[in-house]
Chain A
Amino acid sequence: MALQRTSRGLVAAVSLAAAVGLILTGCTNTGTGSNTSSGSSEQKVKSSDGPTCDISTYGGEKIDLKDAVVGFSQSEKEDNPFRIAETQSIKDEAAKIGVKKLITTNAQSTLSKQISDIQDMISQGANVLIVAPLNSDGLEPALSAAREKNIPVITVDRKLNAEACKDYVSFLGSDFVEQGKRAADQLIKGTGGKGKVAILLGASGNGVTTDRTKGFVDEIKAEAPGIEIVAQQTGDFARDKGQSVTEQLLQSNPEITAIYAENDEMGLGAQAAIIAAGKTPGTDIQLYSIDGTKNAVSQIVAGQYNGVVESNPRFGPLAFKTLKSFLAGDAVGQDIIIEDGEYDADNASSKVDGAY
């Protein structure tokens, strides 16, 4: 009996350990969500036309950032270059400015966790918040908690379906539709406007996927009637998924001449699949993607990749600059769109060091 009891305890412990393990691994691949930025280090503002916001309209008190507790809510795990660079940039800039305290949280791709992360930071006395939203909708409880205390919220990289200067102060980020369009332009130029193209889509239900698809498909339709899009399949922004989907695509559509991947990770997966199929990436099948990670850009240098449109994740300097002006009483733009660079065979070798 004693033995049985011990073993039952063990079974419970082992099962739980397995469950925990599943929780941990379950999240690892969801990270590659997204964004773009330029390979050069600091972000530049491309446009911030349109309505502005100032502290007297939004409410709240003017405060020096050096006396402020700053909360940063990251949406996805820092397991991909974009998120790593984004979080690091916020931390670096906070240290440079010398804020009183920086609290960082990570929602690990769970919306409810992002809400609680933000609420936790507010109850810890955060004076300002920088949020990288996991989803465009659903953060309302967190935003209203911030609203109640007149805490300014700056959102970065993904835009909220909410009212600027009321539910949050400003949005800083890239124009994802434009990124898709620029990738299409690169592809049209590289292929001479002819060929059969496959698209590796990002995660379903993600606004970034929708925008990068729309920008690309519309531009191809408008500018290159000779290009036929023969397949669109999701690779979930993950390298392994990008690879396995490309393997299947190359078997079912051996005539594919170019691939557009909605992020670099999937593009690198596609590259591995092309090599496995006995073809040469970059020449037999051209490759284009969005992000501007060092891994992808260095493949252009190696001649195994054709083009990358950048999505700059280094939001730190711009986010704190915006906050500083806002807290000093100046008007800041509600929509601050950053300028993204791009890499091709001509500039990759000189710009690869600036990639993230």
Chain B
Amino acid sequence: MTAIEPSAGPASSSQLARERAVGVVQSFGAPIVLAIVVIVAAFSFPTFFTVTNLTNILLQSSFLLIVAIGMTFVIVTGGIDLSVGSVFALGGVLAAYASQWGWVAALVVPLVVGAVIGVIQGALVAWGGMAPFIVTLAGLLAVRGIVLAITNGGSTTPLITDPVLKGIGQGGFASIEWPVVIGLVLLVVGIVLLTRSRTGQGVIAVGGSENASTLMGLPVARVKLSVYVLSGLTASLAGALNAAYTSSGVPVVGVGLELSAISAVVIGGTLLTGGKGSLVGTLAGVLLLGVIQNVINQVGSLTSSVQSIVSGGFLAVVVIIQTVLSRQQRL
């Protein structure tokens, strides 16, 4: 709501400055919480702040990060994409299957299919005027069905033997693995796209107020279509990279991934109502989820039920701290 005020009419410069300050805290609330958690963990567990452990967390988070980048764009338009977990699984299975024709095919095939799924969902949302929640829920179910259908009910797992593709998933640049590099590059591209380009302004404007955007002559439908295509692309790419990483297209991966991605985006300060979002925040949200998981493993003696309670409670605390932080700045 605050985001569209400037476009709705001339605003005073002090108001603009305050808007900006609020925006900064909203994007930096999650990084601040992340920093606190990392510092506390570093002092509590001797094996936490080690190079191996930190690079592990980065690598483990990189696949979710790629999915969450696309999800951020969708949520900024006020939409949601529940199909990413299934698209992730399909991307992995297709990549593994297509790897018999070489590593290029293994990356191109999932991306094309992911884009097509995005076009279908985006068109239904943009021109069909249907609720994103329902459209992408249908996508979640249907795409998971496709994954099971092409893998013999989930009993066949295509394996990856192509050395280049395995290298992309498992190799790296210095001690940073390729999936991490790819995730960070996409993050930078996404930040430029969202904050420095006309397209990004369109995305934010549509999420702020669809009516105002239409009145201003923005191509609302095209913007909506494009974010679902982007999300289809990032989810299938993450799935393909994950397949390269695990050397196999396991059909049962990605269940519940959409919820992790949505949580990461929201923890990062992007509003579920749309119109405001931060990819730096999304990165922090993704890393927070990774660090929480890692800390639970550092404790190393919790049962699965206690683990669920701890991670749920942890997330709740994070959101409360963040809400308090951004509210104080606003006053």
Inter-chain contact B263/A20, CB cutoff 8 Å: yes
Does B60 lie at the interface of the complex (its beta carbon under 8 Å from any beta carbon of A)? Answer: yes
Indicate if B201 sits at the interface (CB-CB under 8 A): no
Within 8 Å CB of B154, what residues of A?
204-206
A8-B1, A108-B307 are contacts. A20–B248 as well, Cβ < 8 Å? no
User: 17 more A-B contacts (CB under 8 A) besides A20-B316, A104-B303?
Assistant: A9-B323, A15-B266, A16-B263, A77-B304, A78-B304, A102-B300, A103-B301, A105-B297, A110-B256, A116-B60, A116-B294, A123-B56, A140-B248, A205-B148, A205-B151, A205-B153, A205-B251
B298-331 vs A, CB cutoff 8 Å, 1 = contact: the mask equals 1011111101100010011001100100110010
Select which of B155, B271, B293, B308 is within 8 A of A113 by beta carbon.
Answer: B293
Bound CA–CA A77/B256 (angstroms): 15
For chain A, what secondary structure do more than half of its interface residues adopt (helix, strand, loop), or is it mixed? Answer: helix
- Interface membership of A317, Cβ < 8 A: no
Q: A12-B323, A111-B252, A119-B56 are in contact. Are A204 and B153 (CB under 8 A)?
A: yes
B278 in the interface (beta carbon within 8 A): no
Residues of B within 8 A of A13 (CB): 319-320, 323
Question: In the complex the two chains form, is B323's CB within 8 Å of A27's CB?
Answer: no
Q: Is A52 an interface residue (CB 8 A)?
A: no
Give Cα distance in the complex from A12 to B148, angstroms: 35
| CB pair B60 A112 closer than 8 Å | yes
Would you mind naming 25 contact pairs between A and B with Cβ atoms under 8 Å apart? Answer: A9-B323, A12-B266, A12-B319, A16-B315, A19-B259, A19-B266, A20-B263, A20-B315, A20-B316, A21-B312, A24-B308, A87-B303, A105-B297, A108-B304, A108-B307, A111-B253, A112-B63, A116-B56, A116-B297, A120-B53, A123-B53, A124-B300, A138-B157, A139-B246, A205-B148
Nearest neighbor of A91 in chain B, beta-carbon distance: B301
B residues near A140, Cβ cutoff 8 Å: 246-248
Residues of B within 8 A of A (CB): 1, 47, 50, 52-53, 56, 60, 63, 148, 151, 153-155, 157, 159, 170, 242, 245-248, 250-253, 255-256, 259-260, 262-263, 266-267, 271-273, 290, 293-294, 297-298, 300-305, 307-308, 312, 315-316, 319-320, 323, 326-327, 330
A250 to chain B, nearest CB (A): 24
Q: Measuring CB to CB, which residues of chain A are less than 8 angstroms from any residue of chain B?
A: 4-6, 8-9, 11-13, 15-17, 19-24, 26-27, 30, 74, 76-79, 87, 101-106, 108-113, 115-117, 119-125, 135-141, 144, 161, 204-207, 210
Task: Assess whether A112 is in contact with B263, with CB atoms less than 8 Å apart.
Answer: no
Identify the closest chain B residue to A113 (Cβ). B293
Enumerate chain B residues within 8 angstroms of A161, measured Cβ to Cβ: 157
* Interchain CB contact under 8 A, A138 and B250: yes
For B56, the closest partner residue in chain A by CB is A119
In the complex with contacts A11-B272, A12-B272, A79-B60 CB distance below 8 A: no
Whether A204 contacts B272 in the complex (CB less than 8 A), given A103-B300, A123-B47, comes out as: no
A8, A26, A79, A116: the one within 8 Å of B305 (CB): A79
Tell me if A27 and B153 are in contact (CB < 8 A). no
Q: Are B246 and A138 neighbours in the complex by a CB distance under 8 Å? A: yes
Contact A4 B1 (CB under 8 A): yes
Give the chain A neighbours of B304 by CB distance below 8 A: 74, 76-79, 106, 108
